Amino acid sequence: MGRPAPVLKLPLRVPGRVCGVDFPRAAPDNRLTPQEAAPVIPFVIPFPPISPVIFQIDIGGLNLALRWYALAYIAGLLLAWALVRAAIRRPGLWAAQPPMTVDQLERLMTWVILGVILGGRLGYVLFYQPGYYLTHPGLILRVWEGGMSFHGGFLGVVIAGLLFARRERIPAASLGDLFGMSAPIGLLLGRLANFVNAELWGRPTDLPWGVIFPGEAAQSCGQLAGLCARHPSQLYEAALEGLILGALVIRGVWRRGWLKRPGLTMGVFIAGYGLARFAVEFVRQPDAQFVTQGNPLGLAWQVGGWGLTQGQALSLPMIAIGLWFVLRAR
């Protein structure tokens, strides 16, 4: 789970403002002596001064803004579409003919968008805060306030893909391979957008690449005063789920002929994502609703002090299902 959070103390009672972000002040009784002041604060990375809003326009009192997170969704879908189109235009990548046409791909995009948004939102509601949204059902549709689940979005795309494949008479396994080949692009961009938004950060750390995320929640690490550095778990996930997994499946498709074995690419992606997410959960801060005084690690499922976070519990079935597809495709 990593080493315990460092207790960082400021040598003077001064406003803590780093990169335009306000942090707590040091209490008078927490000041350091001149002898100990120098070595206390370890190497940490201040959060970069990047606004989550790219630009905004006010029209008649209506504020229209383009955020990095929205741009990540748009760019991820467009790049995935371009990659899939390139694959279905290369008959040599397939054992027989490509499973779908470019016209069918255009229609599929609408189904995928609905699956991602509806599945991601409903997954967050059901997996992470069912009690809250049961008492506040009117807030479920307020997607712009945040709260999306990858596991829910994954299920939404699976359902949308199965329905589309049946409607268009497309082999479901081959369609899943196209999803598995293109999904890491969206994951890479989405996790980078999570970092820019200063959300989904990791547990406290004293490692030299720990990041000082802004906000009261990110700075509530149990320290008496000073700054709290956390794992940049969004960047870990961007590297594992997006960059490395994406390079693996794309190389498998374009260099190793994986599309000639239906289900293989899909299986590698599902199992690879599950393994990456399971590993990162050890250093990722769990959702606040799971953290209590008696459960500081935020374990959603536990027995005798051992257990799993909600993200790990949802990733285990993905690992098993992905391995099943890989073995079946051999």
d(CA 314, CA 154): 11
Does residue 281 register a pLDDT over 60?
yes
pTM of the model: 0.80
Could you tell me if 195 and 234 are in contact, meaning their C-beta atoms sit under 8 angstroms apart?
yes
Does residue 22 register a pLDDT over 60?
no
Report which secondary-structure segment, H or E, holds 212.
Answer: strand 211-212
Does residue 8 register a pLDDT over 90?
no
Does residue 235 register a pLDDT over 60?
yes
d(CA 232, CA 199): 10
Higher pLDDT, 144 or 8: 144
What 3 state SS string does 109-130 have? HHHHHHHHHHHHHHHHHHHCCH
The per-residue pLDDT for 145 is 65
Residues paired with 308 in a beta bridge = 301
Does residue 293 register a pLDDT over 90?
no
Average pLDDT of the residues of the chain: 84
Could you tell me if 281 and 317 are in contact, meaning their C-beta atoms sit under 8 angstroms apart?
no
Report which secondary-structure segment, H or E, holds 65.
Answer: strand 62-67
d(CA 300, CA 313): 8
Q: DSSP letter at 137?
A: G
The per-residue pLDDT for 137 is 85
Of the candidate ranges 81-90, 113-122, 174-183, 312-321, the one whose mean pLDDT is the lowest: 113-122
Does residue 93 register a pLDDT over 60?
yes
